[in-house]
């Protein structure tokens, strides 16, 4: 096969070329047209220029000197939902709600601090500390023409699958990629400044957006086979998202997944009051906490299938260890969480350690806090042997916890499910089997 590079501009670009949530452009659309080629999903990049502004027409320099954004997400913090559809049929192939929070788990588990200082900054404006990110990205030079360049991958089940995606009419029929932007109040937060009203008009802006990717021309015999077959299939992993809050010591989360091949489930947590709140990082992944910021210790944790403990028939070890005032997260909880995000044996680099999985929100603005923020989460791999997934089409998935949650502090749980999907296409249309 011979490969070609393509560049696509948004189909809904504004007359002045700028796009922002504030100005009523919350969705960016890219059309990868129907063609007799194969898309290399891992090559897809979302590219453009980014900047933060205090208000319309002002530059960011001194105006937003107290404004920050997630250092471990960079530009990824601006994407609320990533949706991929068939251009020909409009059928949704994959849609990840709370995409920025999905990546708040995925990126720290799969990238190191060295990555954050190197290629992750170059591609997505991620930095190893909030102070560095604020100075280098948010607080850019005063010239209104100065912006931050980025060109970042879009991790998802379809693009990360490893198999080339057939774009011809007889297969997926081209792709429509939609980037749904997050509210400005969720992307930005202040450095604990109680005068957050000074920053309520702050917003981010994109220009010169494009989607770049690599496509391959199949061999003539391969193309003829693809076009002549009465039907075809394409298998990929999908990411689904769910949301629930708990506000009691007995935290029970149950979901009817409706999925037949579930590989893993993981969740990250933030106090509900922090979401869309300029005083807090609404994209942080924190340990459960009471209203005073003290950790709500996890005393018991187990996962269920149809009300029975599964895949392990015991409580995940919740034992905490304090050493000279340094609190660390339970090792088995973090191991199970990382294994749910990516098979533990496949993780070659990570930003997580025993200390930064237990940082409290109160440590957020310590300038020595230089390891990417708290990376706590919980999760479980459901099928590490056959890699075919577990059937949850007719039964509930459950998370059961006992917490030292003593105050009225609702905890928001963002739950992500990795499952196998099969795309079936033929003359009669296309169907996603999950």
* Residue 429 covered by a domain: no
> Mean pLDDT in the chain?
86
* Residue 355 covered by a domain: yes
- At 60, the pLDDT band (50, 70, 90 cuts) reads very low
Summarize pLDDT for 294-326 with one digit per residue, the tens.
888 888 999 999 999 999 999 987 765 554 444
Can you give the chain as a three-state secondary structure string? CEEEEEEECCCCCCCCCEECCCCCCCEEEEEECCCCCEEEEEEEEEEEEEEEECCCCCCCCCCCCCEEECCCCHHHHHEEEEEEEECCCCCEEEEEECHHHHHHHHHHHHCCHHHHHCHHHHHHCCCCCHHHHHHHHHCCCCCCCCCEEEEEECCCCCCCCCCCEECCCCCCCCEEEEEEECCHHHHEEECCCCCHHHHCCCEEEEEEEEEEEEEEECCHHHHHHHHHCCCEEEEEEEEEEEEEEECCCEEEEEEECCEEEEEEEEEEEEEHHHCCCCCCCCCCECCCECCCCCECCEEEEEEEECCEECCCCCCCCCCCEEECCEEECCHHHHHHHHHHHCCHHHCCCCCCCCCCCCCCHHHCCCCCCCCCCCECCEEEECCCCCCCCEEECCCEEEEEEEECCCCCCCEEEEEEEEEEEEEEEECCEEEEEC
* pLDDT score recorded for residue 365: 45
Number of structural domains (the chain) is 2
* Residue 381 covered by a domain: yes
Q: Count other C-beta atoms under 10 Å from residue 417's C-beta.
A: 22
Looking at the structure, tell me whether residues 64 and 160 fall in a common domain.
yes
* Residue 230 covered by a domain: no
Looking at the structure, tell me whether residues 115 and 14 fall in a common domain.
yes
* pLDDT score recorded for residue 233: 87
Inter-residue contact 120 to 137 (CB < 8 Å): no
Q: Count other C-beta atoms under 10 Å from residue 273's C-beta.
A: 15
Looking at the structure, tell me whether residues 261 and 325 fall in a common domain.
yes
Residue 379: φ, ψ to 5°: 180, 175
Structure tokens at 55: 């208000």
Looking at the structure, tell me whether residues 211 and 246 fall in a common domain.
no
Instruction: Please report where in the chains the tokens 């997260």 appear, as a residue.
Output: 329
- At 18, the pLDDT band (50, 70, 90 cuts) reads confident
Q: Cα dist. 323→32, 316, 354, 360 in Å? A: 54, 22, 12, 16
Looking at the structure, tell me whether residues 49 and 81 fall in a common domain.
yes
Name the maximum alpha-carbon separation found in the chain.
69
Looking at the structure, tell me whether residues 200 and 328 fall in a common domain.
no
Looking at the structure, tell me whether residues 136 and 255 fall in a common domain.
no
* Residue 431 covered by a domain: no
Q: What is the CATH number of the domain that holds 204?
A: 2.70.9.10
* pLDDT score recorded for residue 95: 97
Looking at the structure, tell me whether residues 206 and 260 fall in a common domain.
no
Instruction: Please report where in the chains the tokens 């080629």 appear, as a residue.
Output: 37
**Of 223, 248, 266, the domain-final residue:** 223
Structure tokens at 81: 């939902």
Q: Which domain holds residue 142?
A: 2-223
Inter-residue contact 383 to 389 (CB < 8 Å): yes
Q: Does 366 score more than 50 pLDDT?
A: no
Looking at the structure, tell me whether residues 150 and 257 fall in a common domain.
no
Looking at the structure, tell me whether residues 84 and 159 fall in a common domain.
yes
* Residue 80 covered by a domain: yes
* pLDDT score recorded for residue 64: 56
Which residues, at least 6 apart from 415, have a Cβ–Cβ distance to it below 8 Å? 241, 242, 243, 244, 253, 255, 265, 266, 267, 399
**Of 166, 191, 223, the domain-final residue:** 223
Please report, in angstroms and rounded to a whole number, the separation of the first and last CA atoms in the chain: 31
Looking at the structure, tell me whether residues 284 and 361 fall in a common domain.
yes
Which residues, at least 6 apart from 374, have a Cβ–Cβ distance to it below 8 Å? 284, 285, 286, 287, 356, 357, 358, 359, 360, 361
Summarize pLDDT for 88-98 with one digit per residue, the tens.
999 999 999 99
Q: Does 32 score more than 70 pLDDT?
A: yes
Q: Count other C-beta atoms under 10 Å from residue 120's C-beta.
A: 23
Q: Supply the pTM of this predicted model.
A: 0.93
Q: Does 158 score more than 80 pLDDT?
A: yes
* Residue 432 covered by a domain: no
% of the chain residues with pLDDT over 90:
53
Looking at the structure, tell me whether residues 363 and 407 fall in a common domain.
yes
Q: Cα dist. 363→84, 105, 168, 280, 371 in Å? A: 38, 19, 52, 12, 12
Inter-residue contact 279 to 190 (CB < 8 Å): yes
Q: What is the CATH number of the domain that holds 317?
A: 2.60.120.730
55-69, 272-286, 405-419, range with greatest mean pLDDT = 405-419
* pLDDT score recorded for residue 367: 42
Strand pairing partners for 379?
266
**Of 165, 197, 223, the domain-final residue:** 223
């Amino acid at each position: 096969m011979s490969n070609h590079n393509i560049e696509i501009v948004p189909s809904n670009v504004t007359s002045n070329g700028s796009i922002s949530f504030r100005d009523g452009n919350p969705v960016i659309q890219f059309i990868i047209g129907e063609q007799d080629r194969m898309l290399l999903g891992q090559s897809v990049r979302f590219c453009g220029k980014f900047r933060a502004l205090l208000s319309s027409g002002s530059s960011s320099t001194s105006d937003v000197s107290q404004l920050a954004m997630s250092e471990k997400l960079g530009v990824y913090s601006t994407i609320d939902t990533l949706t991929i559809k068939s251009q020909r049929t409009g059928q949704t192939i994959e849609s990840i709600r709370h995409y920025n929070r999905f990546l708040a788990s995925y990126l720290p588990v799969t990238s190191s601090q060295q990555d954050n200082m190197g290629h992750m900054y170059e591609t997505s404006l991620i930095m190893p500390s909030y102070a560095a990110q604020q100075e280098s990205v948010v607080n850019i030079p005063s010239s209104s023409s100065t912006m931050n360049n980025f060109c970042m991958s879009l991790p998802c089940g379809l693009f990360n699958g490893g198999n080339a995606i057939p774009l011809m009419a007889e297969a997926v029929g081209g792709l429509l990629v939609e980037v749904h932007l997050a509210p400005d109040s969720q992307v930005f937060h202040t450095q604990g400044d109680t005068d957050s009203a000074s920053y309520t008009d702050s917003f981010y802006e994109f220009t010169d957006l494009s989607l770049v990717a690599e496509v391959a021309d199949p061999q003539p015999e391969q193309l003829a086979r693809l076009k002549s077959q009465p039907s075809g299939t394409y298998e990929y992993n999908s990411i689904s998202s769910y949301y629930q809050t708990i506000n009691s010591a007995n935290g029970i989360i149950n979901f009817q997944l409706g999925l037949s091949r579930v590989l893993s489930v993981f969740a990250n947590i933030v106090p509900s009051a922090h979401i869309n709140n300029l005083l807090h990082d609404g994209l942080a992944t924190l340990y459960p906490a009471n209203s005073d910021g003290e950790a709500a210790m996890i005393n018991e944790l187990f996962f269920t299938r149809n009300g029975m403990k599964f895949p392990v028939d015991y409580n995940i070890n919740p034992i905490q260890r304090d050493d000279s005032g340094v609190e660390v997260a339970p090792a088995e909880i973090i191991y199970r969480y990382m294994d749910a995000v990516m098979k533990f044996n496949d993780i070659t680099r990570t930003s997580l350690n025993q200390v930064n999985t237990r940082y409290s929100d109160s440590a957020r603005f310590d300038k020595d806090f230089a390891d990417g923020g708290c990376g706590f989460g919980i999760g479980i791999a459901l099928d590490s042997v056959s890699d075919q997934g577990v059937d949850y089409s007719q039964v509930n998935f459950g998370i059961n916890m006992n917490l030292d949650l003593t105050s009225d502090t609702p905890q928001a749980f963002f739950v992500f499910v990795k499952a196998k999907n099969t795309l079936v296409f033929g003359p009669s249309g296309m169907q996603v089997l999950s």
